[in-house]
Structure 1
Amino acid sequence: MPGIDECLLETMRLPGARSAAVIDWVSGLALGVAGEAPGGDYEAAACETAELARMVAEYRSLGPLSAAGQPDGASAPPATGTPTVDGDRVPPPEAVPAPAPVHTAGPAPVVEDIITTNRDSYHLLRFVPGALDGTLFLHLWLARDEGNLALARRRLAEIAQRMVL
């Protein structure tokens, strides 16, 4: 089973790979990096992507749906407040609960990966299951004109599954 360095080298072999990193989303520290740094600074890129990963992993609204079609652990708001044109009711602001964090440091986040796109590249963040209580993710920076996002997503999932720390 490959370690961090082997996984990063395998990730860098993907067509269009510009950089790869293994990052702890709780601390924002990069445990390993390969390629050029997004924005020219590995530490800043690790902190910024960790903030995004933490934000996505901690909120139920971005988790899986329950059998009722609501985000897991959420329930429909009570039918109080101002009626709208279609008959639904908008609850008063004080009746809307604040989002509750799902994860701080324990079981792995329910989100598998995060994809951000811009004009010339993709950023793919893949959570590593089981590693350090599920707080690690792989960050791949992929050139848009050379890379294949679908292939990269599948390969990153395989690499994350095999990674040993």
Structure 2
Amino acid sequence: MANIDSGLKEMMEIEGAIGAAVVDYSSGMALGTLSSTKSLDLNVAAAGNTEVVRAKIRTTEQLGLNESIEDILITLSAQYHIIRPLTSRKGQGLFLYLAMDRTRGNLALARHRLKSIEEELDV
């Protein structure tokens, strides 16, 4: 089992990763962050992406979809931002956030790695 710090390090080992966070979406606060750039404020990203997660959960409930969110992908011109809500009972209310450089990253591989990091994470 991996703790938050080792989970963040694993996330930053994903090819193209420029920032990673574990976020509590009830408060919008990051429980941990790692970044390879000063240009990405992960605390601002944590708060903003909390709104995205809350809105998507609310919409899913309003539509009566009995489904859980695997991940939310935001595609920018130069970056991918992947949000992955944790599904374990202990991880309830948390999400993984990964920002990647589009030219260096492999989206399918990153999604696969985030899933395995989530399974290993002990929060």
Using the size of structure 2 for normalisation, the TM-score is: 0.89
Deviation at 1:19, TM superposition (A): 0.4
Structure with the greater relative contact order (CA < 8 A, sep ≥ 6): 1 or 2?
2
Mapped pair 1:155 → 2:113: yes
Deviations 1:24-52 (A, max 9, x none): 11110000000146854232111001111
| Distance of 2:78 and 2:38 partners within structure 1 | 12
Q: 1:37 to 1:127 in 2, by over 3 A?
A: farther
Q: Which amino acid in the other structure matches residue 154 of structure 1?
A: H
Partner of 1:110: 68
Deviation at 1:54, TM superposition (A): 1.0
Structure 1 residue ranges (4+ consecutive) displaced by more than 4 angstroms after TM superposition: 36-39
Structure 2: runs of 5+ lacking an equivalent:
none
SS of the counterpart of 2:95? strand
Alignment length (residue pairs)? 123
Partner of 1:26: 26
Partner of 1:72: 65
Q: 1:155 to 1:40 in 2, by over 3 A?
A: closer
Report which of the two structures shows the higher radius of gyration computed on alpha carbons: 1
Q: Give the alignment of 1:11-160 within 5 angstroms.
A: 11-36=11-36, 40-60=40-60, 71-72=64-65, 110-132=68-90, 134-160=92-118
Deviation at 1:72, TM superposition (A): 2.5
Using the size of structure 1 for normalisation, the TM-score is: 0.68
User: Does the CA contact (< 8 Å) of 1:39 and 1:45 recur in 2?
Assistant: no
User: Does the CA contact (< 8 Å) of 2:19 and 2:42 recur in 1?
Assistant: no
Deviation at 1:134, TM superposition (A): 1.4
Partner of 1:88: none
From the two aligned structures, give the one with the greater strand fraction: 2
